[in-house]
Amino acid sequence: MLLWELIKMVAYFWGTAFLTSKYMNPNEGGIDHLHLIWAIVSFLMIAVSTLSGIKSAKWELNSQDDFLLQNVWFSEQIKHLLLRLEHILWDAKQWISFLLPVLAAIQWTTRIPPLHAIWILVLSFLVFTILTQGIAALYSGILKTRDRSRAALVGTMAGAVIARTVIVAFCTIAGRIAAPWVNTFPLTQRELDVQALETWQREGSKLFMEEVQHVLHFLLEGWWPYVALADLFMLQASGWLILWAIVFGGAIIGTRLNAFSRRNRQVALNKILETLYGKLHSIVPAKDAGLLSARIKVLCRSSYTLRNLQALFGGIGFWILIGIFSGMLSRVNVDKIEYAVLSFMSFMIMYFLSFELYSSLSGKISLEASGERIILDLMAERTLWNELQQQWSIHKLLAWPIFALGQLVVILLSGKFSILLLLLLPVQAIYVRCFTLICHIPSVIHPRFDYLNPEQIQDYPEKEVIRGITHYIVLGVILPVALLPLILYMADYIEFSLFVSLQYIVIPGLMFGVAAIGLRLMKARLHRWIDINDLHLK
């Protein structure tokens, strides 16, 4: 694990050094690029602090540390503060392992004085600690308020819908802007024109930079918090009052909201969800249907699901791709380019849908979701294979409504409804089946049922390595193989009919077969674990 961390730190250093040295052109386009670099670092710091605070709040509310909660003599507020700090300190270690090589690379390329670099490091740590605690306290209070108020629950659902609508709208515009450039992609014949390809790349870079320049001028306005923090990094005082007002204001408001919010739930999750997934379950046949139905009800009524409610509306990455591909499809007018967009879309949106859903709800849909209660299943002569089947079925069940809604949005925004688009539906259904199965590989290889918090399930170092390998295999191996017929067709090596047969029948069939083999291997592995001592249980 230490070697893996060192590899990542080296990658962060050289990646940052390359970017800062390549794009350090002072005041190009009216932008101070040194200030831009620190603004990016500041934005990442605030974003990481926000995400860490949200995760820490969930860690606090989902904690199963009974010893701390019941036996320590501190007040309830202090106990929950300690639970939040437990996760914040863990995230701080990961943040420092990212920040140190990044700052070292910037110091190396920009030649800032060592004392200045130390000031930035100290300030970064203080901002991360204080801001994360403030966000955690604030978000924890929001979650507790949501537990007690149906209006807050409805507001959360409405907010999730509005946020995704705005994201899709902006990304659709971006896709439409990029479509004319995509239409001129030169690799649509067997002869490779290197000069045409280089010209196309230059035009794409120029288009991207032109659009980015407008956005950057807006994003570098002085009233943004990360710009104020960048000013502090550069030893400029402007904007610091706004930054610290936000930091301390968030901490105070969050702490007070926490103090007056009770942990006990008074509001049940919307019955619409239970009805929706219950109907889907009745349509799709499954083994142990009665047990699966009970699990679905528990999922829909769970506090854990309530606190991760946005996941049921699809992840941000999924909707970003939906918007971009919809915008492109509405403007592309070259057949081969349209087929390329459709083929790439069918793969990528299903990948993001499956992995984002699993990442957000792993505490309820992973193999280890039952925790140490898995002992009861083993005593009832059920196996880990039976448990995986149940959780995989729930994972797929949660994905289908998002999948259907995404397809509807693509059709409406692109204005295209063709036979090929219909042919993509079963292809994407197979991709969902495969990718949802791949999500469970780390748990099958290294199951951990001894966690104290469901937020901990994905944080074991062994699982992080396995998950990184699976992502690499999906994007570095499976994706190129899956798009090989498209590449051959665009280069005029195969005819359209053969392309359709290979891309939309043979490739999905192969993936379905590989998934079936993978299921057999998983079954064989999980059937070996029949002893409680093998499962890291007490």
Residue 526 confidence (pLDDT): 85
CA 239 to CA 38: how far, in whole Å? 14
More confident: 223 or 333? 333
pLDDT of 189 over the 90 cut: no
Domain co-membership, 50 together with 175: yes
Collapsing DSSP states into helix, strand and coil, what is residue 25? coil
Average pLDDT over residues 277-283: 75
CA 106 to CA 233: how far, in whole Å? 12
pLDDT of 242 over the 60 cut: no
CA 427 to CA 6: how far, in whole Å? 40
Tokens of 525: 């592995």
Say if 266 falls within a structural domain: no
189-203, 240-254, 497-511: least confidently modelled range: 240-254
Residue 462 confidence (pLDDT): 84
Type of residue numbered 292 = L
Say if 483 falls within a structural domain: yes
Domain co-membership, 196 together with 224: yes
CA 311 to CA 308: how far, in whole Å? 6
CA 36 to CA 26: how far, in whole Å? 10
CA 159 to CA 377: how far, in whole Å? 38
Output b/e per residue, 263-276; b: 16+ Cβ within 10 A: eeeeeebbeebbeb
Please check whether residue 354 is in contact with residue 432, taking contact to mean a CB–CB distance below 8 angstroms.
Answer: yes
Tokens of 369: 């979701």
Please check whether residue 322 is in contact with residue 349, taking contact to mean a CB–CB distance below 8 angstroms.
Answer: yes
Residue 195 burial class via C-beta count within 10 angstroms: exposed 0-12, middle 13-18, buried 19 and up: exposed
Q: Which residues contact 104 (CB under 8 A, 6 or more apart)?
A: 13, 117
Q: Which residues contact 381 (CB under 8 A, 6 or more apart)?
A: none
pLDDT tens across 491-501, in order?
Answer: 888 888 899 89
Domain co-membership, 223 together with 317: no
Angle between helix axes 114-148 and 225-233 (nearest 10 degrees) is: 160
Say if 248 falls within a structural domain: yes
CA 30 to CA 163: how far, in whole Å? 32
CA 385 to chain CA centroid, Å, is 27
pLDDT tens across 412-463, in order?
Answer: 888 777 666 777 888 888 999 999 999 999 999 888 887 777 877 887 888 8
Residue whose structure tokens are 């984002």: 356
Give the H or E element holding residue 231: helix 225-233
Say if 264 falls within a structural domain: no
pLDDT tens across 483-538, in order?
Answer: 999 888 888 888 888 998 998 889 999 999 999 999 999 988 887 765 556 665 65
Domain co-membership, 317 together with 206: no
Q: How many CB atoms are closer than 10 A to CB 519?
A: 16
Residue 399 confidence (pLDDT): 92
Domain co-membership, 255 together with 400: no
Domain co-membership, 249 together with 281: no
Domain co-membership, 220 together with 345: no
Number of domains in the chain: 2
**Domain boundary residue, one of 233, 259, 285:** 259
Q: Which residues contact 240 (CB under 8 A, 6 or more apart)?
A: 228, 231, 232
**Domain boundary residue, one of 259, 285, 311:** 259
Domain co-membership, 213 together with 356: no
169-173, 215-219, 278-282: least confidently modelled range: 215-219
pLDDT tens across 372-391, in order?
Answer: 788 877 777 778 888 888 89
Domain co-membership, 332 together with 463: yes
pLDDT of 61 over the 50 cut: yes
pLDDT > 70 in the chain, percent: 78
Domain co-membership, 369 together with 341: yes
Domain co-membership, 254 together with 284: no
Residue whose structure tokens are 């009832």: 380
List own/partner pairs for 513-518 with CB under 8 A and 24 or more apart: 514/434, 515/430, 515/433, 515/434, 515/437, 518/437, 518/438
Which structural domain, as residue segments, surrounds residue 65?
2-259
CA 18 to CA 232: how far, in whole Å? 24
CA 11 to CA 32: how far, in whole Å? 26
Domain co-membership, 76 together with 200: yes
**Domain boundary residue, one of 199, 230, 259:** 259
Please check whether residue 157 is in contact with residue 275, taking contact to mean a CB–CB distance below 8 angstroms.
Answer: no
177-181, 263-267, 311-315, 442-446: least confidently modelled range: 263-267
How confident is residue 168, by pLDDT bands cut at 50, 70 and 90? Answer: very high
pLDDT of 18 over the 80 cut: no
CA 379 to CA 381: how far, in whole Å? 5
The rounded mean pLDDT for the chain is 78
pLDDT of 279 over the 90 cut: no
